[in-house]
Chains A and B, each alone.
Chain A
Amino acid sequence: MVKYALQRTALMLFTLFIITLMCFVLIRMLPLAPLPIGDPHTAVIEARREALGYNKPYLVQFGIFLRDVFTKWDWGICDSAKYYGKDVAQLFTSKLPASMIVNLYSIIFSIPIGIALGIFAALKKNTWIDHTISTLVMVCISVPSFVYAFLIQYILCFKLNLFPLVMKGGTDWFSWPMFVSMMPAVLSLAFGTIAGFTRTTRAELTEVLTSEFMLLARTKGLTKRQATVRHAMKNCMVVVLPSIFGSFIGILSGSLIIEKIFSIPGVGELYLYSINALDYPLFILLTVFYTAIGLAAGIVVDVSYGFIDPRIRMGSKK
C-alpha cells in the first residue's frame, strides 16, 4: 500500500513537472510587455530579465526558474500594476487564508447535511421523500454555482438584509462579523457539495442495502437499524470517505466565480487578476498550484480507498 502511494506520488510529481514545463514554455513564448520609455526602473527590470535568462533558450530559462524555486523559494516578482514589485510567493500566501476558511466552513457545513440527506433518501427509497431529494440533487448539480450566488446575494443579502453584499475586508478571519460576511459565499459553495455528497451516499447505500450480507445480518437477528448502522454504513463509507478527503484537499483552491461575486480576497480572485492583468510570474505560480491541487486530490482519493478498505489492494500484483 505504501509502495503504491509512493508510486502514485512519484508519478504525480512527474506529471506536475511536465505540465509546469509546458505552461512555462508557453508563457515565456508570449511577447514581453514593452517598458515605458524613460521609466526609472528600466535598468533594474532589464537586469532582472537578464538574470532570469530571457535571452537564453527556453529550457535554460526553465532551469533558472527551477533553480530559483528550489534553492530560494523565489517564484519571481509581480510585474503588473496592482502588485508591482511584490514577491509572488508571499502575495500568494497572503491570499490563501480567505479561500481556505470559506471553503472549510462550506465543507464542514455541507458534508454532514449531504450524507444525512443521502442516507435518508436511500432508506426511504422510491418514496416521495426519495424522489424529492433526488430531484433537488439533480437541480443543484445542474445549476451553475453563480446562479445560486446571484439568488443568495439578491434574496438573502439584498432583500432580506441578513448578510452584507460582499465579504468584509481585513484579516480578522475568525471574528463574528467576518463569519457573517462569509456566509453567502459559504452557502453558494455548499449547494453543489451537498448535492454531490447526497448523490454519492444515496447511490452507494441503496446498492449496499440490497446486497446479500444485509439479508444475512437481518437473519442472524440484527434489527434493521443495527444492520444499517453496523454493516451498510460501514460499506457505504468506503466510497464516501475518500471523497471527503478529496474535498479537504480542495479547500486550498478558491472558486473563481464565487470569489469574484462576493469579493473574497482569495486565491481565485488572485488567479483571475493574474489572467486579466497578464501577470506572468503570478500566473505560473497559480497554474502550478491549481495543477498540484487537482493531482493531489486525485491521489488522496485513490490511496485512501486502499487504507479504508482492506479488501482493495492496489499496486500489488495479485
Chain B
Amino acid sequence: MENKYAHIPQEKFAFAQKDAVLHDKKFDTKARSYFADALIRFKKNKSSVVAAYIILFLILFAIIAPIVTPYSIKDKDNVYTNFPPYNPDIAALDIGILDGSVTYSSVNETKIAALKAIGIETGMDPYIKTVGTTEVKSIYRGQERITTTYKVKVNRYFEQGVRTLVVSAEEFAKMQAWQNETGIQLLYPVVDINKVYPGVDAAELRLIAKNANIWYQCADTKNTPAYDANGNFIPAYVTGVTYAEPEYQYNSLRIAGDDGSYNYCTVKSGSVEVRICYYNYYQYLKGMEPNYLFGTDEYGRDLFGAIGIGARFSLVFAILVSAINLTIGAIYGSIQGYYGGMVDMILDRISDILSGVPFTVVAVLFQLHLAKKVGIVPSFLFAFVLTGWIGMAALTRKQFYRFKSQEYVLAAKTLGANDRRLMFKHIFPNSLGTIITSCVLVIPGVINSETSLTYLGIINLSTFAGTSIGELMSLGQTAMTGSPHAMLFPSLFVSLLLISFNLFGNGLRDAFNPSTRGVED
C-alpha cells in the first residue's frame, strides 16, 4: 500500500493557491448580538408577548386615564359615593352597561311606585326593569297572606331624585339664571306636607321621616300613593303663597302642569329652602353630567382617574426602587463575588442580618423616624431599598463566581487590567442579562408590598400622591356588600398588572438564560 504513492511524478502536483490571498469567508448570515438573540427567543414565548402588551396598555392607562377623565383627584361628591359605573351617553343606549344600575332585591310595590314617581317628576326614570318576583306566603291572624316582592334594577344616579337644600337668595337667583340659560329644570316646586298626608294631625306629621322625593298625595303614612281616577299621582305642591320681596320671586322654568301658582321656594329666616333635582344640580355645580366610567369610591371620587393616579405612583415607585436596588445590589454583589474569602463572609453576614428583619418592621420604623424629616415617600423608598438590594447582590455574587475564574478574565488580568476594570468592564456585562431580568421580576414584588402596606393603612400616601391602589381597595372593601365595583376595579387592575409583570419577567428570564438555548428549536 505504501508503495502505491511512492513515485508520484512531480508534474502531477499543483499549487492549491499560489498568488491568491486567503481570507476568512465572510458570513452569509447576519451576526446576532446577545440581546437580539434574546429578543428572538422572547418573541417565541406567546404568553410573555401578550403580557408585555398588557403591561404597555396598563401603563398607558395610568398615564392617560387621569388626563382623560373630567375629574381631578380632589373632586369629591357627598351624594354620589360608591356609585356604580355610569356614562350618560352609553346609558341612553340602554345596553345594560355603564347605566349606573344596581339591583335591589325584595322591593315592595310602594317602593316601585316611589321610583316611578321620581321618574314622573324629574323626567329621569330610575326604574329600569323588574328582574324577578318572589312570593312569600305567611299566616297573619289565621289568614294566609301572599307578599310579593320584586327584584328591581334601578339607576342609582336618577334614584337620588330631588333633595331639599337651603340656599341664600343670591344663590337662588343664580340657579334661576342657570335654568333660563340651559333650559334644564333644576328647581322643583316645594311640597305641602299637609297635602301629602291629608287628615293626619300635626303631632303625627312630625314623626314621619321627611322624604324630599314624595311630592304626591299618599293614602297612608307608609307613603303608599293615592291615585286619582285615571290612575295618576295627585300632586301635593304648595300653591298660591306669595312673597313681597323681589329676591324671593320665581321667574324661570316651570314644570309641566304648573298653572303659575306653584311655589319654588320656602323662605326661612333670610334663606330659601328649595327642592332641587340632584342630577341637574350636579350639572349646575360641575358643568357636566356625572360621567364615572369605573364608578365612584367612598369619597365620591372618580375611580377611573383615581386608579390611574394610584397606578402612576405604584409604577414609578416600583421602577425607582428596582433601579436603586439594582445599582446597590450590583456593586455590593460584585465586591462580594470578586474578592471572595473574608470580604465575602463579612459582607454576607451583614446582608444576612439585614434580610432577617421583617419588611413591615423596617417600613414602620422608617416611617416613624424619617417621615417627618424627609417626607413619607422618601422614607418609604429607603425602607424598600434597605433590604431590597440583598436578592440582587446575591444574584450578582453568583454570576461573579461563575465568570471570575474564566480564561478571558485571566487574560485581561495578565494584560494589566485593575480590579475595577475587571469587575465592571469584563465580568459585570456578562451577568447583565440575568440581573436586568430579575430586576423586572422585582417590580411586581414591590408593587405588591406597596399595595399591601397602603391597604393596611401603615403607609398613607394620600397627601403625596392623591391616592393609592391599596387605599382604594381598602375603601372598596368596607363598601363591598353594596357596591362591589369599588373593590373590583382596583383589584382587577393590580392583579392584571402583577400577573403580566410576572409573565413578562419569566419570559425575559427564559430568553436571557442561555441554558434554555436551542431547547425549543
Could you tell me which A residues sit within 8 Å of B by CB distance? 15-16, 18-19, 22-23, 26-27, 29-30, 135, 138-139, 141-144, 146-147, 150-151, 153-154, 158, 256-257, 260-261, 271-272, 275-276, 278, 283, 287, 290-291, 294-295
Query: Contact at A144–B494, with CB atoms within 8 Å?
Result: yes
- 8 Å CB interface, B24-77 against A: 47
Across the interface, name the chain A residue whose C-beta is closest to B491.
A147
- CB-based contact B353/A15 at 8 Å: yes
Q: Are B452 and A146 in contact (CB-based, < 8 A)? A: yes
Stretch at the interface among B212-220, B230-238, B325-333, B455-463: B455-463
B222 proximal to A (CB < 8 A): no
A154 with B484, Cβ < 8 A, contacts A19-B353, A291-B358 known: yes
What is the CB-to-nearest-CB distance from B514 to chain A, in angstroms, rounded to a whole number?
A: 18
Given A26-B369, A287-B361, are A257 and B502 neighbors across the interface (CB < 8 Å)?
no
Q: What are some 21 contacts across the A-B interface (CB < 8 A)?
A: A15-B352, A19-B356, A19-B357, A23-B361, A29-B369, A30-B368, A30-B369, A138-B502, A142-B501, A144-B448, A144-B494, A153-B477, A154-B480, A158-B480, A256-B360, A256-B456, A272-B458, A275-B360, A276-B458, A287-B358, A290-B358
Q: Are A291 and B495 in contact (CB under 8 A)?
A: no
Contacts of B444 in A (CB 8 A): 142
CB-based closest 6 A-B pairs: A142-B499, A142-B498, A142-B502, A290-B358, A143-B495, A147-B491
Select which of B358, B458, B487 is within 8 A of A150 by beta carbon.
B487
Q: Which residues from A are CB-within-8-Å of B477?
A: 150, 153, 261
Instruction: Write out, one digit per residue, whether chain B residues 237-274 have a CB within 8 A of any chain A CB (1) or not (0).
Output: 00000000000000000000000000000000000000
Q: 0/1 per residue, B441-480, Cβ < 8 Å to A?
A: 0001000100110011110000000000000010011001
Expressed in whole angstroms, the Cα–Cα distance for A86 and B135 within the complex equals 55
B304 to chain A, nearest CB (A): 19
Q: B503 contacts which of A30, A138, A146, A150 (Cβ < 8 Å)?
A: A138
B479-495: which have CB < 8 Å to A? 480-481, 484, 487, 491, 494-495
A198 to chain B, nearest CB (A): 15
For residue A275, which residues in chain B have a CB less than 8 angstroms away from its CB? 360, 364, 458
CB-CB < 8 A to B494: which residues of A? Answer: 144, 147
Known: A146-B452, A150-B491, A158-B480. A141 touches B502 (CB 8 A): yes
B339-375 CB contacts (< 8 Å) to partner A: 352-353, 356-358, 360-361, 364-365, 368-369
Q: A19-B356, A26-B369, A147-B495 are in contact. Are A276 and B361 (CB under 8 A)?
A: no
Contact B452 A257 (CB under 8 A): yes
Q: Which residues from chain B contact A29 at a C-beta distance below 8 Å?
A: 369
Specify which of B360, B369, B448, B458 lies most central, judged by the most chain A CB atoms within 10 Å of its CB.
B360
Chain B residues contacting A154 (CB-CB under 8 Å) are 480, 484, 487
Cβ contact of A260, chosen from B448, B451, B456, cutoff 8 A: B456
Residues of A contacting B498 with CB < 8 Å?
Answer: 142-144
A158 and B353 within 8 A (CB): no
For B457, give the chain A residue with the smallest CB separation: A276
- CA of A18 to CA of B448 in the docked complex: distance in angstroms? 28
Task: Please judge, given known A-B contacts A19-B357, A153-B480, whether A146 and B499 are in contact too, CB under 8 Å.
Answer: no
Contact residues in A for B458 (Cβ distance below 8 Å): 272, 275-276
How far in angstroms is the closest Cβ of chain B from A60? 21
Residues of B within 8 A of A260 (CB): 456
Which of A29, A150, A260 has the largest count of B CB atoms less than 10 A from its CB?
A150
Quick one: which of A23, A135, A272, A283 contacts B456, CB cutoff 8 A? A272
Give every chain B residue within 8 A of A16 (Cβ-Cβ): 356
Name the A residues within 8 Å of B455 (CB-CB).
146, 257
Given contacts A29-B369, A291-B358, 6 further A-B contacts (CB under 8 A): A27-B365, A142-B495, A143-B499, A147-B494, A150-B477, A287-B358
Which residue of the partner chain B has the closest CB to A165? B481
Q: How far is the CB of B359 from chain A (nearest CB, A)?
A: 10
Say yes or no: A144 contacts B356, CB within 8 Å.
Answer: no
Instruction: Tell me, in angstroms, the Cα distance from A189 to B390 when the chains sit together.
Output: 27
* Complex Cα spacing A150 to B498, Å: 17
List the B side residues contacting A283 at CB < 8 Å. 364
Task: Considering the complex, give the chain B residue whose CB is closest to the CB of A274.
Answer: B364
Q: How far is the CA of A27 from the CA of B364 in the complex (A)?
A: 10
Residues of A within 8 A of B452 (CB): 144, 146, 256-257
Residue of A nearest to B501 (CB): A142
